[in-house]
Amino acid sequence: MTVDRPARPTIAELREITQPPAIRGRRTAEHWTGDLYMRRISPYLTRLLLRAGLTANAVTALMIVTGAASGVALLVPGLGGALLAVLLTQLQMLWDASDGEVARWRGTSSPLGIFLDRVGHYLAESLIPIALGVRAAGGLDDLAEGYGWTTLGALLAVVIVLNKSLNDMVHVSRAAAGLAKAADDEATTTPRSGALARLRRLARFVPFHRLYHSIELSLLVLAAAVVDVITGDLTGTRVLLAVLLPAALLAVAGHFLAIVTSSRLRP
């Protein structure tokens, strides 16, 4: 239901309504950049968007386009494309923070908005590894000779999408069974097996499973591009791709086990 609030709120008013503890305290849905800096600056953008009259779904559309552009940017060879992708993924996350804030301020949160949000993240996080494969192959002009690298990039995209979809599968499974949404707390998400719980705690110190978000992927591609400049070839990009794929397979296996051994699928 739409809420009648001022079109020109103060930053303090925006923070109070659009960044409640339930949002800032989310364990799995809130990206680490949110606490670090994104939620500090997003109200300033949100205020501009409200004054411009943009709907939450329109802002989400901007997020989708920006996320897709980050993958396309990586088709630009060298450091330039990698730097552009980093900037675009940061902007994507800023749009992502603001679309929810616009929706909460106006009271226009909807299933369509959530769906579009998912589309944006799936699109960005699948296009980036595909573009990484193209970079490892030597660029668009060398796809025929470098098909092995593009294949690895496509496989990485599939594994990342599968890993990401596991959380959505939990929500779908519970809804289909007529159950309420699972609580996002330690007691619910921790595996019941002691050994798996210990491995999960260990993963917090080496959180490689977080490498597959668009921001982290773009930063890794940038680091690899710097190595490429130093070595004068594609060593950095190719090593990165060769390491990311098996690590992603390990991450998706661990994620699956963590879900089925936790209480997330229990009544």
Q: Give domain status of residue 70, yes or no.
A: yes
For the question of whether the overall pTM of this predicted structure is more than 0.95, the answer is no
Q: pLDDT value at position 26?
A: 59
The pLDDT tens digits for 2-45 are 677 777 888 998 998 888 876 765 555 556 676 677 888 999 99
In CATH, what number is assigned to the domain containing residue 126?
Answer: 1.20.120.1760
The pLDDT tens digits for 201-218 are 665 655 566 778 899 999
Range of the domain at 250: 11-260
Q: pLDDT value at position 18?
A: 86
Residue 87 pLDDT exceeds 60: yes
Question: DSSP letters along 66-87, please?
Answer: HHHHHHHHTTS-HHHHHHHHHH
Q: pLDDT value at position 1?
A: 59
Query: What's the chain's average pLDDT?
Result: 88
* Total domains present in the chain: 1
Q: Give domain status of residue 265, yes or no.
A: no
Q: pLDDT value at position 100?
A: 92
Q: Give domain status of residue 191, yes or no.
A: yes
Distance CA 64, CA 217 (A): 17
Q: Give domain status of residue 26, yes or no.
A: yes
The pLDDT tens digits for 127-159 are 999 999 999 999 998 888 889 999 999 999 999
Q: Give domain status of residue 3, yes or no.
A: no
Q: Give domain status of residue 129, yes or no.
A: yes
Mention every residue, 6+ apart, whose C-beta is less than 8 A from residue 48. none
> Which CB contacts under 8 angstroms, 24+ apart, belong to 170-176?
170/259, 170/264, 170/265, 173/265, 174/264, 174/265
Q: Give domain status of residue 190, yes or no.
A: yes
Q: Give domain status of residue 4, yes or no.
A: no
